Amino acid sequence: MGQIGLFTLEKLVIPILISRQRLRHSLIQDLQNRYGQIDYISPDLPFFYTRYYDEEMGTPIIRFFISFLRLIDPSTLAQIKHQTNALENQYSEAGRRKINIDPGLLSLSRFILASSKEGPHRIPLREGIFAEVTLVYEKGNYRPLEWTYPDYQSSEYLTILAEIRKRYKAQLGETYRARDR
């Protein structure tokens, strides 16, 4: 029988869809106030993979990714999803979201997204929040799964996540070297 221990800390990555650029600065500030120093913000990417958000959010919609310096306990993902849902509501206009935030966790072997939507490939966490393994890291690359959204299969997203993974891997090395001193 294996020994039960603490989870390895993981990298909080927050992919954001936004249709009102004027909200961007204050949203980034709110996220930084809550989750600490940001260590990466991706370039803006046009979001054209689905029309699902168009009516509610308006267009054009862009996606960008933020990652945070402080590594977190992965068991906090459901709590973070509730917090980001509250931010979505805070930034709503006339009851319609203008931002969409799906927090994720990046480890050396995978990228997970939180969701409030149930599905056969989603694992219940707590309080109505599910986790989905969206990408698996194997043989030096991310590999999508049969349920991975098309945008998360794009070379742009995979390149961004690979860059964040490099940062995470370096952080883990520093963390363990400091702990072993």
What angle do the packed helices 77-90 and 24-35 form, to 10 degrees?
150
3-state helix, strand, coil in the chain (%, to 5): 35, 30, 35
Specify burial of residue 38 (Cβ count, 10 A radius: 0-12, 13-18, 19+): middle
Number of domains in the chain: 1
1 within a domain of the structure (yes/no):
no
Q: How does pLDDT run across 103-132, given as a tens digit for each residue?
A: 999 999 999 999 999 999 999 999 999 999
Task: Write out the residue range of the structural domain in which residue 36 sits.
Answer: 11-180
- Integer Cα distance of 153 and 47 in angstroms: 13
Q: Low-confidence residues of the chain, pLDDT below 50? A: 180-181
Q: Is residue 3 part of a domain?
A: no
User: What is the model's pTM?
Assistant: 0.93
Flag whether 85 is in a domain. Answer: yes
Return the CATH number at 133.
Answer: 3.30.70
Residues whose CB falls within 8 Å of the CB of residue 162, separated by 6 or more in sequence, listed in order: 141, 142
pLDDT of residue 3: 86
